[in-house]
Structure 1
C-alpha cells in the first residue's frame, strides 16, 4: 500500500474537514495497531535488538540513524546486521542483500544503501528474519530498521525519530493524519526520542520542548549534515530531484551551500523512475546547463535499469548525509546503546 502523504496532513489551515471525515478510519487503523500488540507473542532473540522507527508515516531520518548505530557498533568491534522488511522491493525473504546481485526493484533502495557498509537481512516476517540471522551466526547485535509498530520481535532499545519542522502534523492517526497509531500509545513503546533536522523558520522547534515535558525518557537533538565534499554546489546551477518522503529537507540542504540557481523536482516516495522521467530531467539539465543532484536512495533505484536511466545515474551527483549529535547527547545515546548490548546479551 502506498503511503504518499497529502499536503493537508501538515497544513496549518484547511485540513480540518478532511481530518474529521477520515477520523473514523483513523480510529480503526489505530485500534488495529494496538490490537496487534495486545495479541502478539513476540520472538525473543539471543542477540541484542535495537529498533529505529518513527511515530508518523513518511521519512524522518531512520536510514541515516540506522547507519549511525551500525557504524557505532563497527567502531567498537561489535559485528552487527540490519534487519529490514525491504519496502519497495519484491523480495519477501529471509534473504541477505547482495549488492552485486540485487537491484532496488528486488531489495528496495534503503537496504541497498545500508548494505554499502553493513550486512542487511530482508524479511517481511521480522521474527523469521531475526531467527535467520541467529542461525547463520557471526553477528553480535541487530539493528531493526523501521520496526516501531511491529510487535513480532522483542526489542532491547527502541529509538523514535521526530522531524523538528513537521512534528506530528495535525496529530491525527492515518489516514486522517500522519500518525501510525495514537501518540500516547506509541510514546509508551519507546525508550528514547531523537528530534532531528533544522528548526522551523519561526524559531526553535516547539516539538522538542513539548516532548521533553511529555515524555519521561531522554529526548535528544540530532542534525542532518552532509557527508563528504560540498564545494561542487557553491556557485553552480543545480537541478535537484528526489523521490523520498520529505524531499524539501534535501532541497533546503542543497540551498544552504549557495548554488547560483536551484531548481527542484519532487517525486513520490520510493518513486520508480521511468524513461520519460529520466529523459525530461536530462533534457532540462542540458538546456539550463545545470548539474543534476539527487539523494543516495534515489541513485540506488536508478542502478541496473535502462540505458536512459543509467545515463541519468551517471550524470547525477549525490549529497550523502549523516546524523550528528552534540557531545552531551552523543554520550547519552552511546550509554543507551551500551545498556542495550548488556541487557540483550543473552548467550
Structure 2
C-alpha cells in the first residue's frame, strides 16, 4: 500500500482529511510519548540508532550501511541489532546468510548481514546484550528510535529531503510516528537524503525544526559494471517509496517499459514473480529491482532479475565524527 497523497501536502495547509484525522494522530503521539519516557538498558559499549520520525521510506538501510563502513574504516567492529520486521524468528539470533531467509529474519537484516554481524531480536535489549557478548565494540540499532528498551548514545534521524516531514501530522493524519519537535528533542543528528534542490527546499520548509547538527547526503547507484542506458526494463520495488527507485533507473537512462510499485516488505511469491516475468517477456524487457527486494526473491528467480544497489554519500562526516568521539570518550573507549 502506498502512502496517502494527503500526507505530503504543504504542512502549513493541512487538507480536510488530515484535519479530520488529527484527533487520532494526537492519541498516537501521546502513546509514543509515554513509551519513549521509559528507561532502557545501558550497555558498556556505544549504541548508535539509525531511525526516523516518518513511518518508513527515508533511507535508513543505506544510512546503516554507510555508518557501518565508516566505523569499520576506523578499525571498529560494529554489530547490527534489528527487530527483523516481517521475520518469524523472535531471537535474539545472529543472521547467517544461506541459513536464514527473509521470511525468517526480514529483508533488511538479511541485507545488512553482508556488511557486519547482524542480530535479529524482538527485544532490542536482548539483541544488544547478545551483540556485546559476541564481541561488538559498537552497536548500530536499525530503527528503534521510538523503542525505549535499549539506551541510545547517539540517535540519527533520517529524512527524505524531497518529502520532508510531509504535512507535519502524526499517523493516521500524516506520515509521522511523533511530532517533529518532539522527535528532534531526542535526536543528536539529522540526516536529510536527496538532491541539491530537494535539500534546499527541505531547509527552507523545515529550518525552524532543525535543532541538531544537520548532515546531508544523496543515494548513488553502486558501479557494478552493468550499463543500464537504453536497456528495456520492467522495474518493481517493494520499498517505502518505490518511485525513488524508478527515478534512479531513469537517471541511469534505463528504458522503463513498466514500473510496478509493491507494498513495503511485500512477499515476492513465485506467483507474483512469474507474472512479472511473463509481462517482461512480452515487453522484451529485463526484470530489475532493488537490493533490498532481491533478498526476498525465490531462489529460482535470483539469476533472472538484475539488482541496482545504491550507496549513501555524505557531503561531510565531520558532525558525525565529532558526536562519535564524544560518546567514545563517555564510554572511555
> TM-score under structure 2 normalisation?
0.94
- What secondary structure, in the 3-state scheme, does the structure 2 residue paired with 1:269 have? coil
Separation of aligned partners in 2, 1:230 and 1:270: 28
Q: How far 1:49 moved relative to its partner?
A: 0.6
Aligned to 1:59: 57
Q: Are 2:128 and 1:133 equivalent residues in the alignment? A: no
Is contact 1:230-1:257 (8 Å) kept? no
Aligned to 1:29: 28
Separation of aligned partners in 2, 1:15 and 1:262: 35
CA separation of 1:345 and 1:98: change in aligned 2, threshold 3 A = farther
Q: Equivalent of 1:173, from 155, 170, 175?
A: 170
Separation of aligned partners in 2, 1:4 and 1:253: 18
Deviates more, 1:337-346 or 1:162-171: 337-346
Q: How does 1:174-189 map to 2 (within 5 A)?
A: 174-189=171-186
Aligned to 2:322: 335
Q: Equivalent of 2:86, from 69, 85, 88?
A: 88
Is contact 2:162-2:199 (8 Å) kept? no
- What secondary structure, in the 3-state scheme, does the structure 1 residue paired with 2:177 have? coil
- What secondary structure, in the 3-state scheme, does the structure 2 residue paired with 1:264 have? strand
CA separation of 1:204 and 1:196: change in aligned 2, threshold 3 A = closer
Is contact 1:159-1:192 (8 Å) kept? yes
Separation of aligned partners in 2, 1:277 and 1:137: 39
Q: Equivalent of 2:214, from 214, 219, 238?
A: 219
Q: How far 1:17 moved relative to its partner?
A: 2.5
Q: How does 1:188-207 map to 2 (within 5 A)?
A: 188-198=185-195, 205-207=200-202
CA separation of 1:247 and 1:230: change in aligned 2, threshold 3 A = farther
Gap regions ≥5 residues in structure 2:
none
Is contact 1:52-1:146 (8 Å) kept? yes
Q: How does 1:95-134 map to 2 (within 5 A)?
A: 95-134=93-132
Q: How does 1:1-40 map to 2 (within 5 A)?
A: 5-11=3-9, 16-38=15-37, 40=38
1:81-129 CA-to-partner distances (Å, cap 9, x unmatched) read 0011001111111111111211001100000000012101111111121
1:289-328 CA-to-partner distances (Å, cap 9, x unmatched) read 11111011111011xxxxxx434322111111111022xx
Separation of aligned partners in 1, 2:109 and 2:72: 18
Q: Equivalent of 2:236, from 234, 237, 241?
A: 241
CA separation of 1:214 and 1:258: change in aligned 2, threshold 3 A = same
- What secondary structure, in the 3-state scheme, does the structure 1 residue paired with 2:211 have? coil
Q: How far 1:330 moved relative to its partner?
A: 2.0
Q: How far 1:212 moved relative to its partner?
A: 4.2
How many residue pairs get aligned? The number is 332
1:157-176 CA-to-partner distances (Å, cap 9, x unmatched) read 11111111111111110111
Q: How far 1:7 moved relative to its partner?
A: 2.8
> TM-score under structure 1 normalisation?
0.90
- What secondary structure, in the 3-state scheme, does the structure 2 residue paired with 1:251 have? helix
Separation of aligned partners in 2, 1:276 and 1:96: 30
CA separation of 1:35 and 1:260: change in aligned 2, threshold 3 A = closer
CA RMSD of aligned residues (A): 2.0
